[in-house]
Every structure is written in structure tokens, then in C-alpha cells.
Amino acid sequence: MAKSIKQLLKDEDKRQQETISLIASENIAPPEIRQAAGSSLMNKYSEGYPQKRYYGGNKVADVVEQMAVAVGRKLFRADHINVQPYSGTPAMMAIYFALMKPGDTAMGMSLPHGGHLTHGHKVNFSGKLYKFVQYGVDPDSGLLNYDEIETMAKIFKPKVIVCGATAYPRQIDFQRFGKIAKKAGAYLVADISHIAGLIVGGQHPYPFPHADVVMSTTHKTLRGPRGAIIACKASLAAAIDKAVFPGVQGGPHDNITAAKALCFQNAMKPEFKRYAAQIVKNAQALARALQKLDFNLITGGTDTHLILIDLTNKNITGKEAETALGKAGIILNKNMIPNDLRSPFDPSGIRLGVPVVTSRGMKESQMEQIALMIAKVIDKPKSKSVLSAVKKEVAACTKKFPIK
């Protein structure tokens, strides 16, 4: 008989407790944020913006959204912020609708080099509606080549330049991107979804004042609910708000707005700075330990929350590594590496991120232990005894660092 949803939710709690998630885009939202997301605000409709709603009964919803806006603006150092986007993809859609007309030219980072689908990939609305020119990373260093991006911007004269990534282990030079965009007469959109927590936690430079528009999801390093925000310069505020509602969305998810307000309040606290610093320390400890075990890291290391491994010297593909590690209780994803000769379904790399394990309280010594476990599995991915021994080690480790 099929399991009930109630039982499946319990199964998922257990799965999360008993595995080590190294998925770079995931995190563990604290209990009060999950509570807000499941609160009675879920039942409310409030199309429009505070004090300008299309429904009655918004006394509480208005104050909640105004609080999220007030704290969010401070947190991102923005002139204006819209806290209604359902997720990163609709937020990017609203930004493009506000800044471009279909058929306009834009520039974004290519997906196989670390960009996101919404940065102009041909299967995504962004690649279908706009003429996206894609930049990548230098094949030898794995780093963004700003001179080349500048030359491309001069030639293609895009209306919008998007910077930001899902699999780039180094800091992004927003100042340089800002100069490139200004010279080309383009708007600079910074998609900080992955690194927002590192930015507001003091581990990475801020995109403002170099960017015109900043988009971030709230559920990655920021440790909030599933959702997104758009921050922008004052001159673009009206266009962005109109593009979100009524352009792309209907009623905001007020329960999630409450959870975002809590997330922003948490991120303003001194503890969050320590958390962000620990994320980078953990990623660097994991990177050093992996390098000692002869793993080849793209760019030679990390200064963010994530690591990209090129597995070509290890006689295993990204998909095989993901599957074998999964059997041992270590969850991560296969990933394209720059100039990958394999297919996206079975690429040459894997991506590792430490936000979840850092939220669970793990520190540098656990990162060394995790690196060793990964090496054991990658060396003998088909050995049942190795997989079960590592699984036991994972169980002991996760028990010591429960999800609250």
C-alpha cells in the first residue's frame, strides 16, 4: 500500500537527519522560519502592495510585508526592495520584463561554466525570449576573464549584463562588472542567490552601488524560506514592482513574507557574521583536505561556500560519484566543469557545498573527516564493504550534529 504523505514527511525528516548534504544550494532553515512558512498567513490573499491591496483583511499582512521591506533594504544596502518573488526564476523573469523587450540582447554566464538556466540558456524562457550572448570562464584558470567580458560587451552592446553563478567557487568582482556595464550602456543585474549569506555576513563584497538590480533567493546561504527578493536602485523601483505584480505574479505568499522578515532579522545579527565566516572556513578546510587526497579542484580552491571537483584523474564520472556517495549517505550533485567533454547527464565533475553541514554545527575537523569519507568511496565506488563502512561513519557523525 502507498505510504501516506504524513509518513513520507517523517521519512524525509529522517533522511535529512541521517545523511550529510553537501548540496551547495541547500540549507536548513531554523524552526521559527519553518513555523512562519506554515502559519495561518498561508490562508490570506493580498494582491498588490501594503496599503494598496485588492482584497480586505490585510491589517497584519501589510505590517508583515512592511517589516520585511524595511529590514531587507538595510540588509542588502538597497534603495528599494521587493520581497514578493515566489522564487529565483520568476524573480529573474520580472527583472528582464522590467528592463528589456523581447528580442533585446543580454549577456550572462553560460550554464556549463557555472551560470544559471535563467542567465540565457536556450531551454529556458531567458534564452527563448532574448538574444543572450554567453560568457564563460578561462579554460586554464577556471576564473572569470573580465577583459574578455568587457570586449564582448563592447561588441554586442547588451541592454542587460547578468553576473552571478551557481557553480563558481571564487569571489565575483562586482565593481569591475559595474564598470563594464557602464561603458557598454547596459544595466548590471547581480544574481547573488548562492552567495547572499556570505555577502550580508561580511565574507564577500556587496553588489551595490555597482549593480542596478540585485536578485537573490532566500533559501540558500541566507538560511531563509524558499523564495526570492529583488533589490534595485530608486530609479527602477516602479518598473520592478510593476513587473513582479501584476506582470509575473498574482498574490504574494504572505506566510513566506513573514518567514523572509525573520530570515533578514537573523541575518542582521552578529551570530550570522560568525556563521558566514564558518561557512568559508569549512569550505576551505574541506578543499585543503580534498587536495591532499589528490582531488583536482577547479580554480585550485574556494573563497565561497562551494567547491567544484574535476574527477577526470579519478577514473569515475560525476554521475557514478553522485550515485556511490549517495549510497553511503553523502548527498551531492554531479556538475559540468568548464569545457567538459562529457554530457550534462553524466558530466566530469561534482559540486560540494557546506551551508547545510555548517548550519548543523560542523567545523573544520568534520570537514577533514568528510573529505576522507569521500575519498574512500571514490576510490572503491562498487565495494559494498566500503560503502557500508562509510555509511556507518556518516550515521555516527550526523547523530552528533542533529538538525534542530
Q: Point out which residues bind ligand PLP (CB under 6 A).
A: 25, 87-89, 116, 118, 164-166, 191, 193-194, 217
Q: Which three cell numbers stand for residue 197?
A: 549569506
Residues 6+ apart with CB under 8 A from 102: 129, 130
Q: Which three cell numbers stand for residue 350?
A: 561534482
Cβ-closest residue to ligand PLP? Answer: 88
**Residues 50, 65 contacting (CB under 8 angstroms):** yes
Measuring CA to CA, which residue among 141, 132, 127 is closest to residue 161?
132
**At CA 362, angle to CA 359 and CA 363, rounded to 5?**
120
Active site residue 275: no
What minimum distance in Å lies between the beta carbon of 117 and ligand PLP? 7
- The response to whether 115 counts as a known ligand-binding position is yes
Active site residue 79: no
* DSSP secondary structure, 275-319, as one string: HHHHHHHHHHHHHHHHHHTT-EEGGGS-SSSEEEEE-GGGT--HH
What does the alpha-carbon distance between residue 357 and residue 26 come to, in Å, rounded to a whole number?
10
Active site residue 220: yes
Active site residue 118: no
Distances (CA, A) of 51 to 55, 57, 64, 382: 10, 11, 12, 61
- The response to whether 344 counts as a known ligand-binding position is yes
| Burial (Cβ within 10 Å: 0-12, 13-18, ≥19) of residue 105 | middle
**Residues 334, 322 contacting (CB under 8 angstroms):** yes
Provide the residue type at 108 as one letter. G
- The response to whether 114 counts as a known ligand-binding position is no
**Residues 376, 348 contacting (CB under 8 angstroms):** no
Per DSSP bridges, beta strands 80-82 and 105-109 are unpaired
By C-beta, is 120 or 164 nearer to ligand PLP? Answer: 164
**Residues 206, 190 contacting (CB under 8 angstroms):** no
What minimum distance in Å lies between the beta carbon of 74 and ligand PLP? 23
DSSP conformation class of 329: T
Q: Which is catalytic among the residues 18, 47, 303, 368?
A: 47
Q: Which is catalytic among the residues 159, 166, 168, 191?
A: 191
Active site residue 323: no
Find the DSSP H helices in 51-209: 59-76, 88-99, 125-129, 146-156, 174-184, 196-200
By C-beta, is 304 or 369 nearer to ligand PLP? Answer: 304
Could you give the angle at which helices 364-379 and 384-400 cross, rounded to 10 degrees? 160
Distance of CA 396 to the CA centre of its chain: 29
Active site residue 334: no
Task: Answer left, alpha or beta for residue 327, where phi above 0 means left and psi between -120 and 50 means alpha.
Answer: alpha
Catalytic residues: 45, 47, 191, 217, 220, 226
- Known binding residues for (6S)-5,6,7,8-tetrahydrofolate are 111, 115-117, 343-345
